[in-house]
Amino acid sequence: MKAMQISQTGGPEVLAYVELETPTPGAGQVLVRTESISINFTDVLIRQGLHPMMPPLPTVPGFEASGVVEVLGDGVTQVELGQRASFIGNGCYAEHVLVDAAALIPIPDTLDSDTAAAFPINYLTAYHMMHTMARLEEGQTILSYAAVGGVGIAIIQLAKLAGLKVIGLTSSNEKAARAKELGIHHIINYKSQNVVEEVREFTQGQGVDLILDSVAGPSFPNNFGMLAPLGQVIWYGEAGGPPPKNLLEPLMAHFGKGVGVRTFHLFQSIAEPFPQIMAESIQTMIRYLEEKKVEPVIQDRIPLKDAAQAHKLLESQKTVGKLILKP
């Protein structure tokens, strides 16, 4: 089978299109022929060698895809050959992927393979941060980093359904215009506007109830000054690098407001310890997709062999929504 592999970390050029042996499923596993492969910024961080949980090299990147079940491993009875499914797994930049049968997400025929590949990580991450963790109530306000990225768009769409307001951050006027088309309440170009002042003005000095931060970096402490009393930051990515090591001093500066910071990782926070909660949220998302209440925005579909081009595009900060690789 063909796959993209990295043997050393570095720029997009380290992604190599190689021939690998098609794997054989073991007990409880299935072999899926991929039809659509979703790119996430985590893939870029692993390629760069900057992810906090680096796999051993060489490795096939990619955590999310959709396809058709072609081979069943021993003991697999709950899945049929030919089943269309999406999944969160490992080594997805490939024509075939081994997946635990229990991890498959059966996909109805009403959903195309690109949509099936694009929704799991982004929409489940947004849903669980907003509802399982923060337990937001109608009328409350979210500040979302990377507002027109995959998770950012999911936040906008899911917030609409819940009656929540969203302030978004983005890097260009073009992206700001797209965010407005998607129905965001207020968008801030962080390269040309003062984010803290804009947030305070929009919220009439109150601050926001929840900040969803996928960027982190040295400006992370600024979040505490934008929170409403009892507000919280959920840190779920570090596209801008890790935050400062000492957060105690900036947090103590807002001690009286009772604000807090939490972390989120879809696999370790929800999928592994709470499988029933995960299963229920998956069914909710599939229902929303079928009813067109949410819909991933897919900017482009790129051949698997050109994954380096896709990574360059993602790193350019010019993408809106998802990039999909096609085997």
pLDDT at 159: 98
pLDDT given at position 317: 87
Residues 94, 127 within the same domain: no
pLDDT value for 271: 87
**106 pairs with which residues across the strands?**
85
Residue 67 sits in the same domain as residue 48 = yes
Query: Of 267, 282, 312, which residue is a domain's last?
Result: 267
CA pair distance 247, 261, nearest whole angstrom = 10
- Give the separation between CA 67 and CA 76, rounded to whole angstroms: 17
173 Cβ contact partners less than 8 Å away, ≥ 6 residues apart: 189
Which DSSP symbol is given to 297? Answer: -
The verdict on residue 285 lying in a domain is no
How far, in Å, CA of 142 to CA of 136, rounded? Answer: 9
CB-based contact 285:115 (threshold 8 Å): no
> Domain containing 21 — which CATH number?
3.90.180.10
The pLDDT, as a whole number, for residue 155 is: 98
Q: What pLDDT is recorded for position 19?
A: 98
Show the low-confidence residues of the chain (pLDDT under 50): none
Same-domain pairing of 141 and 113: no
> Residues 108, 199: one domain?
no
Q: Can you name the residues that pair with 261 across neighbouring β-strands?
A: 233
Give domain status of residue 292, yes or no.
Answer: no
Q: Which two tokens stand for residue 257?
A: 């407001």
The verdict on 60 and 150 lying in the same domain is no
The one-character DSSP state at 185 is: S
The pairing of beta strand 29-38 with beta strand 96-100: antiparallel
In a domain? residue 88: yes
DSSP 279: H
User: Are 257 and 148 found together in one domain?
Assistant: yes
Residue whose C-alpha is closest to residue 134's, from 297, 244, 260: 260
From the number of C-beta atoms within 10 Å of its C-beta (0-12, 13-18, 19+), residue 169 rates as buried
**Could you read off the pLDDT of 106-126 as tens digits, one per residue?**
999 999 999 999 999 999 999
Q: In which domain, by residue range, is 45 found? A: 2-119+298-326
230 with 320, same domain: the answer is no
Tell whether 280 is covered by a domain.
no
154 shares a domain with 252: yes
Cross-strand partners of 68:
33, 84
> Phi and psi of 178, rounded to 5°?
-65, -40
Sign of CA dihedral 120, 126, 128, 131: negative
Q: Which of 23, 44, 29, 158 is nearest to 85 (CA)?
A: 29
pTM of the shown model? 0.95
Element (H, E) at 98: strand 96-100
CATH of the domain at 244: 3.40.50.720
The predicted pLDDT at position 85 comes to: 98
Token couple for 94: 């490939």
Domain count, the chain: 2
User: Which residues contact residue 290 at a Cβ distance below 8 angstroms, ignoring those fewer than 6 apart?
Assistant: 108, 110, 111
Rounded to the nearest 10 degrees, how much is the dihedral formed by the CA atoms of 24, 58, 20, 85? 50
**Which residues, including other chains, have CB under 8 Å from residue 108's CB and lie 6 or more apart?**
286, 290
Angstrom distances, CA of residue 79 to CA of 28, 42, 74, 94, 100: 10, 29, 12, 21, 11
Of 157, 154, 109, 162, the residue nearest 137 (C-alpha): 162
Looking at the structure, tell me whether residues 100 and 186 fall in a common domain. no
Same domain, 160 and 263: yes
Model pLDDT, residue 309: 97
Instruction: Looking at the structure, tell me whether residues 199 and 218 fall in a common domain.
Output: yes
- Choosing from 267, 283, 311, the residue where a domain stops is 267
Quick one: which of 226, 211, 237, 268 has its CA closest to 149?
237
101 and 129 in a common domain:
no
